[in-house]
Amino acid sequence: MTTAHATAPRFAAIDCGTNSIRLLIAEVLPDGSLNELNRDNIIVRLGQGVDANGRFAEEALERVDAALSTYADRMVEFGVQDVMMGATSATRDAENREVFFDLSRRHLGRIRDGISAEVITGEREAELSFNGAVTDLGELGAEERVCVIDLGGGSTEFVVRTASGSVNEAHSANMGCVRLTERYLHSQPPASTEIAAASVFVQELLAEVQNVVDLSAVDRVVGVAGTMTTISSIALGLSEYDSERNHMSVHSLEDFRATARDLLSRTTEQRMELGPMHPGRADVIGGGAVIVDAFTTLFLEQGLKEITVSEKDILDGILAEVVRRNS
């Protein structure tokens, strides 16, 4: 599809996290609703070695460069007028982040002059994730206290409020699937001592979360991002990844935890035998499983029974920002 055929204004959002870089393109229809045109995900492992070295690896930047080149071509093809690229956890930590911003400016400049990736604070990341995640909750979560958990590669965001926005508590914890795997889980499957060390770390950060976010009065838990949606696919017994089946699927917390624990006990090769598993996620999802184990256990102890998984997350929240600034 080209610009010549585009009749409705088209906008794009890019989310560059620690493990993957994703693109969403949509057009704004006359009634103000969004029609999704394209959604892509490329595993780039930008956070490779950042936790240990404090810098982006050259090969990681090369992978991002190639992915952004592909995405810029796609945005030109679809006639995108404006784009916002959010750069999250790994970018906040890396000392050579200006190299990353320079290459983002080169590619995004093809869409709109002078723009580059924008650093998103942990709390802002949580807010954007919440806005995207609850898009399709509808009346289901209108008056409930909803906790959205966005489990990424380098950080995990927790935000609690009602879907109507009357409560707003958010915290970003520096724990994610890549960070935990690189720091603690050096064996495949991880040794019990490695899992124990990772679990202690997660419990310490979860305690910090609870100092900021009241998790004790939560009515509904919504999980977003790749670790969550992958566990959802496996818990659903899918033979391959299916975003439509995943979106707004409801799981018992006990089943969700059991699936996470099973993944943690497997080698990378054994995880790849599971149809929904992405090759770029198989070696690090164990770190995410430790986090899932911790928060599902917490909520089960509080009497909650279920978790809802949403395919919409920070990417959809970023797109809403782009649309607003052009309205």
Q: What is the pLDDT of residue 80?
A: 97
Mean pLDDT of 57-71: 94
For 62, how many CA atoms within 13 A lie in the half-sphere containing its CB?
3
Lowest mean pLDDT among 14-28, 71-85, 244-258: 14-28
Which tokens sit at 33? 């609703």
Give the pLDDT confidence of 103-137 residue by residue, as tens digits: 999 999 999 999 999 888 777 777 787 888 887 77
Burial class (CB in 10 A: 0-12, 13-18, 19+), 144: middle
Query: What is the pTM for the complete model shown?
Result: 0.79
Lowest mean pLDDT among 81-85, 300-304, 312-316: 312-316
Q: What is the pLDDT of residue 17?
A: 82
3-state secondary structure of 25: strand
Name the band, by pLDDT with cuts 50, 70 and 90, for residue 204: very high
Nearest in space to 15 (alpha carbons), one of 37, 33, 41, 34:
41
3-state secondary structure of 22: strand
Cα separation, 188 vs 268, whole angstroms? 7
Name the band, by pLDDT with cuts 50, 70 and 90, for residue 198: very high
Instruction: Judge whether residue 94 has pLDDT over 90.
Output: no
